[in-house]
Amino acid sequence: NAGVTQTPKFRILKIGQSMTLQCTQDMNHNYMYWYRQDPGMGLKLIYYSVGAGITDKGEVPNGYNVSRSTTEDFPLRLELAAPSQTSVYFCASSSRDRGNQPQHFGDGTRLSIL
Amino acid sequence: AQTVTQSQPEMSVQEAETVTLSCTYDTSESDYYLFWYKQPPSRQMILVIRQEAYKQQNATENRFSVNFQKAAKSFSLKISDSQLGDAAMYFCAYRSAESGYALNFGKGTSLLVTP
């Protein structure tokens, strides 16, 4: 059972570069999320999606973009990377429900912007 | 947006003893869910326990239990018979229909377990 798979696990970017963090899930979940975790902090919501073709902003969306063309995939795009985007990024998914089902998390991507 | 507060940045407990981690939250909603997640150094996010706000009975999962006080907006986690493997960051999280049922996390409590 793969669950939620994130690639890459680690990446170093230079300021101004762009990249896409990949996230795929094989549980046929409708809801998918991107969070970032800064050192010593809890996770903060960047973007979320409630189904293919539907995305919306979370608490910290600036500097990021997402798309959801399929149920399985929810890539996160960083445009013009900045040092403030150095963080650990988590993708998560859950089934369509009223909220009592747990979110399944990927193993995270550690991203450094230098 | 709802806020989740964990007032204990660090806690320490001896092996086999009991420890309680605190969490409070601020909301005007009546329908929501509360979770505790464990994050070991491997950085995996592991669900420890969950509580539905409409249930009065406190959730229990083996050595882990919660004290849910809805009126006080408090959701503490009790770990009994602490084990070395319990050492980790623990995050309290709130979830509701807002933002597609996304989780709203506290800043976490680092739990140290000493032999």
- Mean predicted confidence (pLDDT) in A98-111: 88
CA angle A33–A37–A39, rounded 5-degree value: 180
> pLDDT tens digit string along A33-49?
999 999 888 999 999 99
- Whether A98 shows a pLDDT value over 70: the answer reads no
Structural contact between residues A27 and A71, judged by C-beta atoms closer than 8 angstroms: no
pLDDT at B82: 97
Tokens of B13: 């407990």
Contacts of B31 in chain A (CB under 8 A): 98
The pLDDT value given to residue B24: 98
pLDDT higher than 80, residue B1: no
Contact call for A107 and B106, based on CB within 8 A? no
Output the average pLDDT for chain B: 94
Question: Residue B10: pLDDT above 90?
Answer: yes
* Cβ <8 Å between A98 and B97: yes
Residue contacts between A and B (CB atoms, under 8 Å): 65
Q: Give the nearest partner residue to A88 out of B43, B93, B105, using CB atoms.
A: B43
For residues B25 and B2, the answer to whether their CB atoms sit within 8 Å is: yes
Q: What is the pLDDT confidence band of residue A100, given thresholds at 50, 70 and 90?
A: confident
Q: Using CA atoms, how far apart are residues B72 and B15, in angstroms rounded to an integer?
A: 31
Q: Which of residues 27-86 of B touch A (CB under 8 A)?
A: 31-33, 35, 42-45, 47, 50, 52
Beta bridge mates, A26: none
Rounded Cα distance between B60 and A73, Å, is: 34
Chain-centroid distance of CA B5 in Å reads 11
Strand (E) or helix (H) holding B11 = strand B10-14
For residue A68, give both structure tokens. Answer: 């959801």
What percentage of residues in chain A have a pLDDT greater than 90?
Answer: 87
Alpha-carbon distances, residue B112 vs A32, A59, B87 (angstroms): 32, 31, 5
Q: What mean pLDDT do residues A51-79 have?
A: 95
pLDDT tens column, B30-67: 889 999 999 999 999 999 999 999 888 999 999 999 99
Whether A31 sits inside 8 A of B100 (CB atoms) is yes
